[in-house]
Amino acid sequence: MRFKDKVSFIFGAGPSSPGWSNGKAVSVLLAREGAKIFALDFSAENLAPTVEAIQSEGGTCVTHTADVTSQSDIQAAVAACMKKWGRIDILFNNVGLQSLGGPEELEEEVWDRLMNANVKSMFLTCKHVLPVMTAQKSGVIINNSSMAAISFLYPSIAYSSCKGAVDAFTKNLAVQYAGKGVRVVSVRPGLMATRASRLA
């Protein structure tokens, strides 16, 4: 029960295909350790398996739908969490889109869509969660990066660029907010054999 009564605000908490995902796994593990989960996703349908897994083990999970690229949606989500529990102890930025190809193959609108979903989203969530954490003088922000930020895995220029930006974003925030009681870190998952990848 290392996270007993800690409020975890998790974007991308639902799997987009049957089985496990980063967001579902983190949500369930935190709930097992006593955290209260405020699970967010673009789709309520995506959140259903996460809620079921947490509640089947006696954990606490509240859901909220939001577009992570929409400032008004994020503001509404933060307000809803604060109304429910009055604090946010952990922010997990897990939303991420992928697209294959280099500059010649990739369309401009795809580049923009990935930058919005993978980078701008973290700017917006931090913009509205950091005031809560600094007022508490405590909190942890976890940004989901990737080994693609520092290694060539396959041609994915937009995704790799996004994750490199996430690393830089994280380092900047970590230094800026260290003295305010807020810890900011990124994690770099590698390739994972999910059900979706096996079907691809």
The catalytic site residues sit at: 159
- The Cα–Cα gap between 54 and 64 comes to 15
CA distance to 30, 56, 136, 152, 159, per residue, from 62 (Å): 14, 14, 21, 38, 30
SS3 90: strand
- β 139-144/182-187 pair status: parallel
- Please enumerate in sequence order all residues whose Cβ is within 8 A of that of 106, keeping only pairs 6 or more positions apart, or say none: 99, 157, 158
- Report the residue count for the chain: 200
